[in-house]
Structure 1
Amino acid sequence: MNQVPITEDERQSEDRSWATARTLAEALPYIQVYDRQTVVIKYGGHAMGDEAVAKQFAADVVLLKLMGVNPVVVHGGGPQISAMLDRAGVKSEFVDGLRVTDAATMQIAEMVLSGAVNKEIANWITEAGKQADVRGVGLSGKDAGLLTVEKTRRTRRDPDSMIEHEVDLGFVGEPTRVDPKLIRGLIASESEDWVPVIAPIGVAEDGKTYNVNADTVAGAVAGSLQAKRMLLLTDVKGVLDKDGQVIRQMTVAEAEQLIADGVATGGMIPKLETAMAAVKAGVEAVVILDGRRSHAMLVELFTEHGAGTLVKA
Structure 2
Amino acid sequence: MTTAEDAGQDAGHQRVVAAQGKAAVLREALPWITRFHGQTVVIKYGGNAMIDDELKRSFAADVALLHFVGLRPVIVHGGGPQISALATQLGVASTFVGGLRVTDAAMMDVVRMSLLGQVNPELVGLVQAAGAPAVGIAGTDAGLLQVRPAVGPGGEDLGLVGEVDHVDTSYIDELLGDHFLPVVATVGRDADGNERNVNADLAAGAIAAALGASKLVYLTDVEGLYQDFGDPERQSLMSEVSAGGLQAMLEAGELHEGMRPKVRSIVQALADGVPQAHILDGRVLHAVLIEIFTDEGVGTMITPGAARPAVVAS
**TM > 0.5:** yes
Q: 1:175-254, aligned counterparts within 5 Å?
A: 175-189=164-178, 193-242=179-228, 243-254=234-245
Structure 2: gaps of 5 or more residues: 229-233, 305-314
CA distance in 1, matches of 2:238, 2:298: 10
Corresponding residue of 2:263: 272
Alpha-carbon offset, residue 11 of structure 1: 4.2
Residue 104 of structure 1 aligns with an amino acid whose one-letter code is A
- TM-score (normalizing by structure 2): 0.90
Name the Cα RMSD after superposition.
1.7
Work out the CA distance in 1 between the residues paired with 2:68 and 2:159.
Answer: 42
Percent of aligned positions with the same letter in both sequences?
42
Identify the residue that residue 310 of structure 2 maps to in structure 1: none
Report if the CA contact (8 A) 1:45-1:80 is conserved.
no
Aligned residues: 297
* Conserved? CA contact 2:98–2:258, under 8 Å: no
Q: Give, in angstroms, the shift of residue 171 of structure 1.
A: 0.5
Q: Is the 8 A contact 1:146 1:178 kept in 2?
A: yes
Return the TM-score normalized by structure 1.
Answer: 0.90
Letter in 2 for 1:300: E
The residue number in structure 2 matching 1:147 is: 145
The 1:230/1:44 distance shift into structure 2, 3 A limit, reads same
2:146 aligns to what SS in structure 1? strand
The answer (yes or no) to whether the contact 1:45–1:75 under 8 Å persists in 2 is no
CA contact (8 A) 1:39 1:72 kept: yes
Letter in 2 for 1:140: A
Q: Conserved in 1, the CA contact under 8 Å of 2:162 and 2:188? A: yes
CA 1:93/1:265 → structure 2, altered by over 3 Å: closer, same or farther? closer
- In 1, Cα distance between equivalents of 2:222 and 2:189: 31
CA separation of 1:263/1:16 partners in 2, compared to 1, >3 Å: closer, same or farther? Answer: farther
Structure 2 counterpart of 1:300, from 291, 294, 309: 291
Q: Please give the per-residue CA displacement for 1:209-230, whole angstroms capped at 9, x wherever unaligned.
A: 0001000000000000010001
Alpha-carbon separation, structure 1, partners of 2:153 and 2:6: 75
2:58 corresponding residue in structure 1: 56
Question: How far has the Cα of 1:260 moved from its partner?
Answer: 4.2
Question: Residue 238 of structure 1 aligns to which amino acid in structure 2?
Answer: G
User: Counterparts of 1:160-175 in structure 2 under 5 Å?
Assistant: 166-175=155-164
Quick one: distance in 2 between partners of 1:282 and 1:106? 32
Residues 128 and 134 in structure 2, CA contact (< 8 A), matched pair in contact too = yes
Give the whole-Å Cα distance in 1 for the aligned partners of 2:255 and 2:157.
27
Structure with the higher fraction of residues in helix conformation: 2
